[in-house]
Amino acid sequence: MAQLLQIAGGVLLSLALAGSGFMLLAGWLMRARFAAADTAPPAAAPGVDVLKPLHGDEPGLERALETLFAQDYAGPVRVILGLQDPADPAAAVARRLQRAHSDRDVVVVVDPRQHGSNRKVSNLINMAAAARHELVLLADSDIVVPPDYLRRVLAPLAEREVGAVTCAYYGVAQGGGLWPRLAAMGLSFQFLPSVVVGAALGLAHPCMGSTIAMRRRVLEEVGGLRAFADRLADDYAIGAAVRAAGYRCDVSPVLVGHLCAEASLAELLAHELRWARTIRGVDPLGFAGSVVTYPVPVGLAGLVLLQGAVAAWGVLALALASRLWLIRQVEKAAEPIPGSWRLLVLRDMVSVFVFARSYFVRVVRWRGARFRVDARGDLSGA
Average of pLDDT values for 219-244?
91
Q: What is the DSSP string of 309-368?
A: -HHHHHHHHHHHHHHHHHHHHHHHHS---TTTTTTHHHHHHHHHHHHHHGGG--EEEETT
Q: What is d(CA 168, CA 196) in angstroms, rounded to the nearest whole number?
A: 8
- pLDDT reading at 238 higher than 50: yes
User: pLDDT category, 42, cuts 50, 70, 90?
Assistant: low
Beta strand extents in 228-290 (DSSP E only):
248-260
- Are 61 and 93 spatial neighbours (Cβ–Cβ below 8 Å)? yes
Give the per-residue pLDDT at 239: 93
Specify the pTM: 0.85
pLDDT at 210: 92
Q: What percent of the chain has pLDDT over 90?
A: 58
Q: Name the residue with higher pLDDT: 200 or 376.
A: 200
pLDDT at 373 over 70: no
pLDDT at 374: 54
Whole-Å CA distances, 352 to 160, 273, 291, 295: 42, 11, 8, 10
Q: Which of 51, 56, 53 is nearest to 367 (CA)?
A: 56
- Note the pLDDT tens digit of each residue in 159-209: 999 999 999 999 999 877 899 999 999 999 999 999 999 888 888 888 999
What confidence score (pLDDT) does residue 79 get?
96
Residue 35's pLDDT is what?
64
d(CA 248, CA 239): 9
Half-sphere exposure of 63 (CA within 13 A, CB side): 13
Res 34: pLDDT:
78
Region of 207 please: left (phi>0), alpha (psi -120 to 50) or beta: beta
Rounded Cα gap, residues 322 and 173, in angstroms:
24
Which pLDDT band holds residue 359 (cuts at 50, 70, 90)? confident
Going through the chain in order, the beta strands assigned E by DSSP cover: 48-53, 77-83, 105-110, 135-138, 143-144, 162-173, 212-215, 248-260, 363-366, 369-373, 379-381
Contact 292, 19 (CB under 8 A): yes
Distance of CA 166 to the CA centre of its chain: 10
Nearest to 232 by CA among 137, 116, 127: 116
Per-residue pLDDT tens over the stretch 132-148: 999 999 999 999 999 99
| 173: phi then psi, degrees, rounded to nearest 5 | -70, 120
Those residues with Cβ within 8 angstroms of residue 83's Cβ, 6 or more apart along the chain or in another chain: 54, 55, 90, 91, 94, 108, 109, 110, 111, 123
What phi-psi label fits residue 367: left (phi over 0), alpha (psi between -120 and 50 degrees) or beta?
A: left
If one counts every other C-beta atom within 10 angstroms of the C-beta of residue 157, the result is: 23
**Neighbour tally for 369: CB within 10 Å:** 12
Please state, rounded to an integer, the average pLDDT across all residues of the chain: 87
Is residue 300 pLDDT above 80, yes or no? yes
What mean pLDDT is predicted for residues 224-240? 89
With cut-offs at 50, 70 and 90, classify the pLDDT of residue 382.
Answer: very low
Instruction: Output the pLDDT for position 222.
Output: 93
CATH superfamily of 39-262: Spore Coat Polysaccharide Biosynthesis Protein SpsA; Chain A (3.90.550.10)
Who wins on pLDDT, 308 or 126? 126
The per-residue pLDDT for 187 is 94
pLDDT > 90? residue 78: yes
The helices-and-strands tally (H runs, E runs) of the chain is 14, 11
**Nearest of 127, 147, 146, 129 to residue 138 by alpha carbon:** 127
For the chain, domain boundaries: 39-262
Assign 380 a pLDDT band (cuts: 50, 70, 90): very low
Name the pLDDT band for 43 (thresholds 50, 70, 90): low
- pLDDT tens per residue across span 106-121: 999 999 998 888 889 9
